């Protein structure tokens, strides 16, 4: 039993450390002004890839690197919209899954260029809805993936947005978690995911989760994205 507890403590520490490094990376994206007008999404993605290598020696990402702007922000993860040049008044988001010493981070943030108040409201609503989704998770010990998905989509609607994804998160852990869980619906926060989220995985280890919020306004052709660890918080939050 002591070995199991120690192993779980190590896993939690590694996941939190990976996210802490992802936060540093995304802070640097903003500080260096990488999200800017006049460059294409792929160029920005490559610049972030190089920055991750420079800062942390990251050589691999466990999922495709995503930088989307303008109309492309409507598209969910699985789509691959054409590469687009970022415009002066765009909204844009980044979704990256860097591997830090074999541990997965999954982190997403939204950026607004210009002064459009609707785009700024969209960006600011993302963390608020994330926090409300996390609060629901924390106050419902037996919550299932489909219940949390229903709650997050209802939060989006109440705030005046459409939820843009077919799921609102997934399991996370040691690379490669996708090959462990495959396409099983129980690996996602999604309709049909009817197991309690607080459970052990097939290896007998505690499940840990990413919560992701994708909000869209199809009439205006804009969307935003926000994600990070759901069930784990650092001992000393930023």
pLDDT per residue as tens digits for the range 89-113: 999 999 988 888 888 889 999 999 9
Hey, is 220 helix, strand or coil?
coil
The pLDDT of residue 100: 87
| Strand spans (E) along the chain | 66-69, 91-96, 99-100, 103-104, 107-112, 162-163, 169-171, 209-217, 222-229
Q: What separation in angstroms does the CA of 185 have from each of 178, 208, 228?
A: 12, 15, 20
- Size of the chain, expressed as the number of residues it contains: 238
For the cut 50, the answer to whether the pLDDT of residue 2 exceeds it is no
Q: Is 238 inside any structural domain?
A: no
Q: Please name every residue paired with 162 in a beta bridge, in sequence order, or none if there are none.
A: 216
Q: Is 237 inside any structural domain?
A: no
Mean pLDDT of all residues in 23-27: 95
Q: Is 235 inside any structural domain?
A: no
Q: How many CA atoms lie within 13 A of 128 on its CB side?
A: 12
Q: How many CA atoms lie within 13 A of 118 on its CB side?
A: 13
ω into residue 103 within 30 of 0, thus cis? no
Q: Which domain holds residue 186?
A: 2-229
Mean pLDDT of all residues in 177-199: 81
Residue 206 buriedness (CB in 10 A; 0-12 / 13-18 / 19+): middle
Number of domain units in the chain: 1
Q: Is 32 inside any structural domain?
A: yes
- Helix (H) / strand (E) element for 26: namely helix 2-31
Give me the CATH number covering residue 66: 3.90.230.10
Q: Is 19 inside any structural domain?
A: yes
| Strand spans (E) along 6-157 | 66-69, 91-96, 99-100, 103-104, 107-112
pLDDT per residue as tens digits for the range 115-169: 999 999 999 999 999 999 999 999 999 999 999 999 999 999 999 999 999 999 9
Q: Is 67 inside any structural domain?
A: yes
For the cut 70, the answer to whether the pLDDT of residue 217 exceeds it is yes
Q: Is 61 inside any structural domain?
A: yes
The pLDDT of residue 97: 85
For the cut 90, the answer to whether the pLDDT of residue 176 exceeds it is no
Q: How confident is the model at residue 181 (pLDDT cuts 50, 70, 90)?
A: very low
Average pLDDT, the chain: 91
């Amino acid at each position: 039993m002591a070995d199991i507890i120690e192993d779980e403590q190590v896993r939690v520490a590694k996941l939190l450390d990976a996210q802490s490094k992802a936060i540093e990376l995304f802070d640097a994206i903003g500080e260096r002004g990488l999200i800017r007008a006049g460059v294409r999404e792929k160029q920005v993605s490559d610049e972030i890839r190089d920055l991750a290598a420079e800062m942390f020696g990251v050589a691999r990402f466990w999922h495709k690197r995503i930088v989307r702007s303008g109309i492309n922000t409507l598209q969910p993860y699985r789509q691959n919209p054409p590469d687009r040049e970022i415009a002066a008044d765009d909204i844009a988001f980044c979704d990256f899954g860097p591997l830090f010493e074999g541990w997965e981070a999954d982190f997403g943030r939204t950026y607004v260029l210009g002064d459009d108040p609707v785009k700024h409201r969209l960006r600011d609503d993302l963390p608020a809805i994330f926090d409300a989704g996390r609060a629901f998770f924390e106050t419902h010990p037996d919550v299932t993936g489909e219940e949390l998905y229903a709650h997050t989509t209802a939060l989006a609607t109440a705030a005046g947005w459409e939820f843009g994804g077919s799921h609102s998160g997934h399991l996370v852990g040691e690379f490669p978690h996708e090959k462990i869980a495959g396409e099983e619906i129980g690996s996602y926060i999604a309709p049909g995911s009817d197991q309690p989220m607080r459970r052990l995985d097939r290896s007998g280890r505690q499940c840990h989760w990413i919560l992701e919020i994708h909000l869209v306004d199809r009439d205006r052709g804009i969307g935003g994205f926000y994600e990070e660890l759901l069930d784990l918080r650092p001992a000393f939050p930023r």
